[in-house]
Amino acid sequence: MAGILEGRVAIVTGAGRGIGRGMAVELAKEGAKVVVASRSQGSIDETLGEIEAAGGTATGTVCDVGNHDHIKATVAKAVETYGGLDIMINNAQAFGTLEKPDPSPVLTGIEDFRDEEWDRTLLTGVTASYRFMKAAFPCLKASGRGRVINLGSNWGQFGNAGSVAYNAGKEAIRGLTRTAAREWGQYGITCNVYNPAIETDAMRNHIKEHPEESKAALLTVPVRRWGDIYKDGGRIAVFIASDDAAFLTGMTFMVDGGMFMYP
């Protein structure tokens, strides 16, 4: 029996690890041909190995989403390798600066926040998502069932203290996504945001370093666990990319076990 994404082509940025890897692997399991985009060839190879072991089809490309030429080359590789593009997942996000990257936001008040960090955060977040969407649009339109999934964050929704650039960028992504949903729906393209609370390597490191704080944070999640990159993160992406979600657009999917509920 064919997978529900059989015959479709997907790009997943930041697919070398964490949520991006989970999405890439699960999309491939459902028959999508996946372009695994990440800054590190080593992490790309690990994700490709998982996809191959699961019987899926994928290729990799080194991509810094802060580089416009890399973005155009990644879309071109999908078209050249697999003949088109149906699913665009903008997951990658850099922190810190180009010269001194950080694995996650270093909490700093607005008055002391570095301008160069602001620039890098928005360049690799909302601007990269915008550029990938523009580059992918002709293919998504030709597909007739195009899917855009952009990664947001509940930090932006509640204004997490100390992460002004990340918060602003993630909320801007929601505005970008809703606008595209209105403009592109006529072409069969859906555009949605995915706000996760998924356990990644960075989160596990934080839990080890701050056990009591992490225990208290987990109590705010009604299901009392963090999401898994495959069975939660990956499977929700599969649903949004599938025909079953063809009537859902402009939405923010809270993939967080009920942590952030709002009317």
Long-range CB contacts (within 8 A, 24+) of 135-138: 135/71, 135/72, 135/75, 136/11, 136/75, 136/85, 136/88, 137/184, 137/189
**CB-count exposure of residue 99 (10 Å: 0-12, 13-18, 19+):** exposed
Beta-strand pair 95-96/101-102: antiparallel
Task: Specify burial of residue 53 (Cβ count, 10 A radius: 0-12, 13-18, 19+).
Answer: exposed
Two tokens at 135?
A: 């580059």
User: Looking at 130, 166, 194, 230, which residue is catalytic?
Assistant: 166
187 is catalytic: no
C-alpha triplet 73, 79, 80: angle, nearest 5°: 80
Beta bridge partners of 37: 13, 61
Phi, psi at 137, each rounded to 5°: -50, -50
Q: How many residues does the chain have?
A: 263
Residues catalogued as catalytic? 166
